[in-house]
Amino acid sequence: MFLHSVNLWNLAFYVFMVLLATLGLWDVFFGFEENKCSMSYMFEYPEYQKIELPKKLTKRYPAYELYLYGEGSYAEEHKILPLTGIPVLFLPGNAGSYKQVRSIGSIALRKAEDIDFKYHFDFFSVNFNEELVALYGGSLQKQTKFVHECIKAILKLYKGQEFAPTSVAIIGHSMGGLVARALLTLKNFKQDLINLLVTQATPHVAPVMPLDRFITEFYMTVNNYWILNARHINLTTLSVAGGFRDYQVRSGLTFLPKLSHHTSALSVVSSAVPKTWVSTDHLSIVWCKQLQLTTIRAFFDLIDADTKQITQKPKKKLSVLTHHFIRHPAKQFEENPSILSDLTGTSMWVPVKVSRWSYVAYNESDKIYFTFPLANHRKTFTHIYCQSTMLDTNSWIFGCINSTSMCRQGVDLSWKAELLPTIKSLTLRLQDYPSLSHVVVYVPSVHGSKFVVDCEFFKKETRSIQLPVTHLFSFGLSSRKVILNMSGLYYNIELLNFGQIYQAFKVNVVSKCSGGKEEITSIYKLHIPWSYEDSLTIAQVPSSTEISLKLHVAQPENDSHVALLKMYTSSDCQYEVTIKTSFPQILGQVVRFHGGALPAYVVSSILLAYGGQLYSLFSTGYCLEYSAILDKEAKPYKVDPFVIMVKFLLGYKWFKELWDAVLLPELDAIVLTSQSMCFPLVSLILFLFGTCTAYWSGLLSSTSVQLLSSLWLALKRPAELPKDIKVVHLQASLTTFRNSQPVNPKHSRRSEKKSNHHKDPSVQGLRLSANDAEDSLRMHGTVINLLTWVVLLSMPSLIYWLKNLRYYFQLNPDPCKPLAFLLIPAITILGNTHTVSVKSSKLLKTASQFPLPLAVGVIAFGSSHLYRVPCFVVIPLLFHALCNFM
């Protein structure tokens, strides 16, 4: 019944759209690096000691609990309170377990053991009963208030101790990080109760799926508070994202708003974190050993030796976090590092006058200082670059001021170096250091260790190469190429015109090497200067290496920086870099950034088809097939131009004032623009995907009804068309009636109407009732399709309610209650009436005109606020129901 009305071209189009959607989905769910995180293991059996809370608190929050994490002897000792360590509170996220604290808690315990418990951290964790707060936002405020009580209860456990804490550090995973930020919005909350906030894969900017208004309102409350009170918020905050492996929370949502007055906030992607350098998925970010080790190193560096608690100095906090999470100089953190270092002792001083130098150190018995005079090189070169494969934390490169061949004291340049996976490197612009006469590279005496030190002078023009990216619509058919044949150690490839989130490219680096060196390693680093989302690729050369280029955060309008591909290469190799557009990854970016809006576009397409069916019922007296009317009515030019026009007009003050005067909400397109998420033609692409999904959902609905009717026929064969409207029963009866009639392939309603006056009146009445039944079936099929999407969008609240039924019989607040009051009566009426009673209605023409503006409204106000979509569906259903009475 469904496929008969679709021509082959339309069917081919819908199949083609499915293929495109599949390419985009594959890129989101599978188009990333393998999981390179090491699992963090417990050395002793983990134990979770429940902290007794006041009875009033337990009664008010029966589903929530507070636990203290421990292992082995530590757990046994701390069963007898009070505590003596530094309190850290872990907040799990959506459906998260309080037991997720064990990874970071165990690593912190091992670190404390290494220093004989000079300092140690006590890790607490809140049990939120694994609530689905990403799906239902009604409990977020309740969680926030409970965490406030937990902080006060934790601090009471340290009363009477010599170094009793007055605040706690918080680690929040996913929505737990948002709950931690929401603490500041509570009336009686003192900001001093939190000394540090670290969030992991927390969507700070907006909810991943805004499925109810409570989530959206909670986000608005939190973000508005942080913006309006930026001057008074001194809380040092670090947000860590998982990168492209985390398809649940895209990294762009985790970046904290850059406020001019709030300078104590850092946002970084895990692939850019030194000593981590891996992308994590949404769950592995809490157990990824590399990331948790980095976090714990930072925590121990944050300890104040005088108070034996986390420092209260904002500057030191930010310095520590920058050191461990942004740029690591391959040295231990020092709050006030000494600039000058003594270069004394029995050491050899070896002058180096060449512009390119390499030294292999193996079993060195003496310390050696290699000196590079700068006077002559300043005339020819602009920069000096040095690297070492010895990854210890000692100073290794210095600058001498106004010396001849050696100096007793040198400027420690090691603090300006950068740690990479296989080397530590330093690049200096010579004109920035006019007082330096020499650069000194220090090679310590080593036994049994082999490492390589390289240095070279170069001109910036020879190592900075511009590579314009290919056009978005080249579809990978064209490419651009550069060849690096200067045998250098370091190159900067400037990726011109690369700054939008809808751009995606494949870069292929082919290396060809001469000589017989073994295990030559090259590092290719994508550096994004406007956000900390760098990624590294390590390649064994010679080889052919493919790198994906795409962004988490678009380049700000007032930012003039250029994305760079930094290449740390071998002087024995030549490199060829080719870039071309990756169409599947572009589709992946569309899905990643806008996939959540698809239900709005699906419902918009179904509403257009629904309006077309009502109008055909009004104008011709019968209802067109769903697939045929979908092809006819679901056109993007009926929706997009209105949204674009309104967005344009809102740029004018008079229209904006008029808009606000009638209390209309903000246009979703403006929200997307403020988040730099507007793709070219993105609305058109989403509309086509939405229409395709609407078609296949209609096919699935129709097929389901037919299968159920076949089952009904097998159980009970109806003798006549039913008087009541039960869709499966109606389909079964109609199938029986059709099978009992003579087969006439040329039969149609039009020919039937022309020949009606030649028929027997009883037969004519029977056929008319069959036509009415078919119209009713088609109309009800579309209504069921609409209702299916309403139910899907409301399902999260139902799941949340069922999961918490043992604690709360009634869902409070209930986001579906107002909708249900209107929807249930409308469906009750529509489910028990034929189209016969609708055809003669005076309201039918009006009812048929409502779906079009509502389809526009769904896109305008529901694409970023999905909870509004069912409201737009209820209105035409109500008018359709009223047609039975007027």
From 125, 174, 414, 535, active-site residue: 174
Beta 340-342 vs 309-310: how paired, if at all?
A: unpaired
What is the gyration radius of the CA atoms in the chain, in angstroms?
Answer: 34
The DSSP string of 828-886 is: HHHTT--THHHHT-TTHHHHHHSHHHHHHHHHHHHSS-GGGHHHHHHHHHHHHHHTTT-
Burial environment of residue 305 by CB neighbours within 10 A (0 to 12, 13 to 18, 19 or more): exposed
- CA-CA distances (angstroms) from residue 96 to 52, 91, 93? 21, 9, 5
Beta 563-568 vs 490-496: how paired, if at all?
A: antiparallel
Calpha distance 633→607 (Å, rounded) = 9
Handedness of CA 278, 283, 285, 288 (dihedral sign): negative
Local structure of 367: helix, strand or coil: strand
Calpha distance 318→237 (Å, rounded) = 9
Largest pairwise CA distance in the chain: 121
Calpha distance 421→429 (Å, rounded) = 24
Length of the chain: 886
What is the DSSP-derived secondary structure letter of residue 370? E
Confirm if 194 and 274 have CB atoms less than 8 A apart: no
Q: Which of 513, 531, 530, 514 is nearest to 522 (CA)?
A: 513
Local structure of 306: helix, strand or coil: coil
CA 701 to chain centre: 32
The 10 Å CB-count burial string (b at 16+, else e) for 602-632 is bbbbbbbbbbbbbbbbbeeebbbbbbbbbbe
Q: Which of 210, 13, 14, 32 is nearest to 589 (CA)?
A: 32
Degrees, nearest 5: CA angle 458-460-463: 80
Confirm if 589 and 716 have CB atoms less than 8 A apart: no
Strand order in the sheet with 194-200: 46-50, 65-71, 121-127, 86-91, 168-173, 194-200, 237-241, 265-269
Q: Which of 375, 409, 389, 539 is nearest to 452 (CA)?
A: 389
Structure tokens at 531: 């956000």
Start-end of H helices in 350-470: 375-380, 460-463
Calpha distance 537→422 (Å, rounded) = 11
Is 279 part of the annotated catalytic residue set? Answer: no
Confirm if 299 and 123 have CB atoms less than 8 A apart: no
Confirm if 250 and 592 have CB atoms less than 8 A apart: yes
> For helices 598-619 and 626-633, what crossing angle results, to 10°?
110
> Cβ neighbours of residue 252 under 8 Å, at least 6 residues apart?
205, 501, 552, 553, 593, 675
The DSSP string of 494-522 is: EEET---TT-EEEEEEEEEE-S--SSEEE
Phi-psi region of 345 (alpha: psi -120 to 50; beta: other; left: phi over 0): left
What is the DSSP-derived secondary structure letter of residue 725? -
Catalytic residues: 174
